[in-house]
Amino acid sequence: MKKTDEQLIMDYLEGNENALGVLVDRYLSLAYNFAFQLTRDREASEDVVQESFIKAWKNIRGWKRESSFKTWLFAITRNTAIDWLRKRKDLTLSTYENEAGKNLLTETLVDENPSPLELLERAEDATFVANLLEELDPLYRDVINLRYGDNLTFKEIGEILRRPLHTVKSQHRRAIIALRRARTKTA
């Protein structure tokens, strides 16, 4: 029988180190996908998720049973991603140009061919949906990504985003209306 998150946390607190590993296995890919939606950077998403699990591990005793472990972890992941976004400074590649105007950094970058994942992301439908989502207000985009990308309930989304349930539902409804309008404009 599969143990609940709460049972695994209690097992871990009672000394079962493996219980934490089960939780990590259960939520690693979901947390990564969520972090990637926020950062749009694969390496940063890996770092954000790793840091989020470390924070969860260090603060596991502070987990409140009013919210699920999943929403608690996603809130930590969201905050960690926001911290990363605030610290991020875009590197100007032109600073690596030599006197002749050649950029040694861009000339030595590895493999310019797209990876299979990048090819998939370029697929027509994915591009169309991504473009529609990019046009959305970030408040609405977060709700849509959490609802449909991570299959979270409105209650869980509210807990992660720290918004009242009725606000999340309203933002979801407005996002759907905005997506429909944007779709009809492009059709």
Residue spans of the domains in the chain: they are: 1-89, 110-182
CA 180/CA 88 separation, integer angstroms = 33
* Sequence-separated (6 or more) residues with CB below 8 Å from residue 15: none
C-alpha neighbours within 13 Å on the C-beta side of residue 83: 11
* Residue 128 confidence class, pLDDT cut points 50, 70, 90: low
> How much is the average pLDDT of 163-176?
91
* C-alpha distances out from residue 135 to 127, 153, 155, 176, 182, Å: 12, 23, 25, 12, 8
What is the crossing angle of helices 5-13 and 69-87, to 10°?
Answer: 80
Which pLDDT does position 179 carry in this prediction?
80
- pLDDT confidence of residue 180: 80
pLDDT tens-digit readout, 86-104? 787 544 445 445 666 665 4
The whole-number average pLDDT for the span 121-149 is 75
Percent of the chain with pLDDT over 70: 76
Q: Tell me the average pLDDT across 152-174.
A: 92
- Which residue, among 40, 44, 38, 25, has the nearest Cα to 74 in the 3D structure? 38
DSSP code for 45? H
Question: Residue 88 has what DSSP assignment?
Answer: -
User: Do the first three CATH levels of 1-89 and 110-182 match, i.e. the same topology?
Assistant: no
* Residue 138 structure tokens: 């970030």
- pLDDT for 66 equals 75
At residue 108 the predicted structure's pLDDT band, cuts being 50, 70 and 90, is very low
pTM reported for the whole predicted model: 0.58
Mean pLDDT score, 24-42: 89
β-sheet bridge partners, residue 7? none
pLDDT at 126 over 80: no
Q: Domain 1-89: which topology?
A: Rna Polymerase Sigma Factor; Chain: A (1.10.1740)
Question: Residue 36's CB: how many other CB atoms inside 10 A?
Answer: 19
Instruction: For domain 110-182, give the CATH number.
Output: 1.10.10.10
Q: How many Å apart are CA 29 and CA 110, to the nearest integer?
A: 26
Q: Residue 106: pLDDT above 70?
A: no
* Residue 73, pLDDT score: 92
